[in-house]
Structure 1
Amino acid sequence: MIDKLNNALQFQQQALALRAQRHEVLSGNIANADTPNYKARDFNFAAELKRATASQSGGGLQLATTSHGHLTSNGANGVAPQMQYRAPSQSRMDGNTVEMDIERTHFLDNSLRYQADIQFFDDRITGMRKAMQSER
């Protein structure tokens, strides 16, 4: 029963974990806006979510294990996103590629989507809880 509940909530868990990772990356970009030669990084959320859900269904990468006692990894926490450097639209003399307007926009967008994902997750749990309750 528990594994069925876990499977039903796996997609939302992975989406939230990836959103949190992206939030950390964007925060790092903003924090290093004045660091010389810092290169802004990000990852393609849709591609990484697709890769994480593919690994969930067994179609993605599997960890090599040398013993039957090793734990298996599933979920977005076990999959590191493929980081990419962002190409600046305007170069700076110090070599830094962080553009604050773009970073703030991505940060705000990711924050709103994170909140929406939490709401979807909460609605899903509420619906499952109602389905499991007996009628009175």
Structure 2
Amino acid sequence: MSNSFFGIHESALQIREQRAEVLATNLANADTPNFKARDIDFRAALNDASEDLKPTTAMSKTHAHHLEGSTGFGSTDAYLKYRQPTQPSLDGNTVETHIEKAQFMENGLQQTATLEFINGKIMGLRGAIRGE
């Protein structure tokens, strides 16, 4: 399927997946001295991903073996930010498990909603193909 069919939801799903990994890493390192909790700036990453979906002038392919451009969202490394703790800790660790768990759950719910939207698009396409 192309990006035009799923729209921004394909990129949103990829960003949410990468954010879940970052939040899980934070939780796994809750007891690691001097570990600094990080999070992805989802809004900025999604905004840039939506800019990538806008139509642009395509590069011409002058040879059959030339590679196509990337269609998916890449890495979120540019959007990783260190989280500021609400309370200082003696060991320098900035992970606050109650915040990380809440963010992880919220991200999971939003990821599920995105998956349901994509599933609805696929079911609609299947219905159109079958003539339903």
Residue 71 of structure 2 is aligned to residue 74 of structure 1: yes
Match of 2:89 in 1: 92
Structure 1 residue runs without a partner (length 5+): 60-67
Counterparts of 2:131 and 2:116, CA distance in 1: 25
Q: CA deviation at 1:134?
A: 3.0
Q: Measure how far apart 1:7 and its partner are.
A: 1.8
Deviations 1:100-124 (A, max 9, x none): 0000000010111111111111011
Q: Which secondary structure does the structure 2 equivalent of 1:84 belong to?
A: strand
Which residue is 1:107 aligned to? 104
Is the 1:18–1:49 Cα contact (8 Å) retained in structure 2? Answer: yes
Deviates more, 1:101-110 or 1:42-51: 42-51
Deviations 1:67-90 (A, max 9, x none): x834422222x2434100000010
Is it true that 1:20 corresponds to 2:17 in the alignment?
yes
Aligned pair count reads 124
Structure 2 unpaired stretches of 5+: 57-64
Q: Taking structure 1 as the reference length, what is the TM-score of the superposition?
A: 0.81
Report sequence identity in percent. 41
- Hey, what's the Cα distance between the residues in 2 that align with 1:31 and 1:79? 21
Find runs of 4+ consecutive structure 1 residues off by over 3 angstroms: none
C-alpha RMSD of matched pairs (Å): 2.1
